[in-house]
């Protein structure tokens, strides 16, 4: 796996602590001498950051869900071409703050969007290079949303019932693909969450022969 890089995704609801845990993991891996690329989805590239600004702008309330889904995929397509695939081909560890798992949680069901439709478009956008492991930081929605102190973006402004469904969609993904997902209880102190994350990742860094 090392020769083809390692692709790790952190995902979960707003306020679940992804950014904190991503930074801690990156620091630990780099201290071990590992070459790490950190990306955020959507974003990272010049084009991706412009798409991100469009997606999260509260002024774009009229955006259709299928348009929203396709914009996320467009940003990923650029990030894969420009950042992720070159890094993986160099054998680096790529850590992504969100990925297709977010679309399968946030856009699923909107305007009748199915998981099969989303995955079909994703296959094109990411060139079928899916994650090796997604760490799903899970906690009650009321607790996670209470952590969001800044002005809420267009997605975060949606009603609590929407975010409850998003959480259910995340958990359903993990249940359907337990080999590539790990659910981590994020409603705890940072060191405890960090330890569970490391326990999930360590076997991928030193796979058995």
Return the closest-CA partner of residue 141 out of 126, 159, 127.
159
Q: What is the pLDDT of residue 106?
A: 96
DSSP states along 187-199:
SS-HHHHHHHHHH
Tokens encoding 200: 């999930």
Tokens encoding 188: 């705890």
Q: What is the pLDDT of residue 101?
A: 98
CA distance 11 to 41: 10
pTM for the model stands at 0.93
Contacts of 169-177 with C-beta under 8 Å, sequence gap 24+, read 169/104, 169/105, 169/106, 169/108, 169/109, 170/11, 170/12, 170/13, 170/101, 170/105, 170/136, 170/138, 171/136, 171/138, 173/101, 173/104, 173/105, 173/134, 173/136, 174/134, 174/136
| Burial of 32 from C-beta contacts in 10 A (0-12 / 13-18 / 19+) | exposed
Tokens encoding 107: 């856009």
CA distance 207 to 133: 14
Q: What is the pLDDT of residue 209?
A: 44
CB 125, CB 73: distance < 8 Å? yes
Q: What is the pLDDT of residue 207?
A: 61
2-205 CATH choice from 3.40.50.740, 2.40.50.140, 3.40.50.300, 3.40.309.10: 3.40.50.300
Per-residue pLDDT for the chain (209 aa), expressed as one digit of tens each? Answer: 334 799 999 999 989 999 999 999 999 999 999 999 999 999 999 999 999 999 999 999 999 999 999 999 999 999 999 999 999 999 999 999 999 999 999 999 999 999 999 999 999 999 999 999 999 999 999 998 888 877 789 999 999 999 999 999 999 999 999 999 999 999 999 999 999 999 999 999 976 54
Q: What is the pLDDT of residue 149?
A: 74
CA dihedral 52, 160, 193, 92 (to 10 degrees): -20
Q: What is the pLDDT of residue 1?
A: 37
CA atoms within 13 A on the CB side of 42: 24
């Amino acid at each position: 796996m090392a020769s083809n890089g390692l692709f790790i995704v952190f995902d979960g609801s707003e306020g679940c602590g992804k950014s904190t845990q991503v930074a801690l993991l990156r620091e630990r891996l780099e201290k071990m001498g590992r070459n790490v690329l950190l990306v955020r989805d959507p974003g990272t590239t010049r084009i991706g950051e412009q798409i991100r600004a469009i997606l999260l702008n509260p002024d774009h309330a009229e955006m259709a869900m299928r348009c929203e889904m396709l914009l996320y995929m467009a940003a990923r397509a650029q990030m894969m071409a420009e950042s992720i695939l070159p890094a993986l081909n160099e054998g680096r560890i790529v850590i992504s703050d969100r990925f297709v798992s977010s679309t399968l949680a946030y856009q699923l069901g909107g305007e009748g969007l199915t998981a099969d439709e989303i995955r079909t478009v994703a296959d094109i956008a990411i060139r079928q290079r899916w994650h090796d492991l997604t760490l799903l930081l899970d906690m009650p929605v009321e607790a996670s949303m209470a952590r969001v102190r800044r002005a809420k973006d267009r997605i975060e402004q949606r009603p609590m019932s929407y975010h409850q469904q998003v959480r259910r969609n995340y958990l359903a993904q993990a249940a359907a693909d337990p080999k590539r997902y790990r659910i981590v209880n994020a409603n705890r102190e940072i060191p405890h969450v960090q330890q569970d994350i490391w326990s999930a990742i360590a076997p991928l860094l030193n796979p058995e022969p």
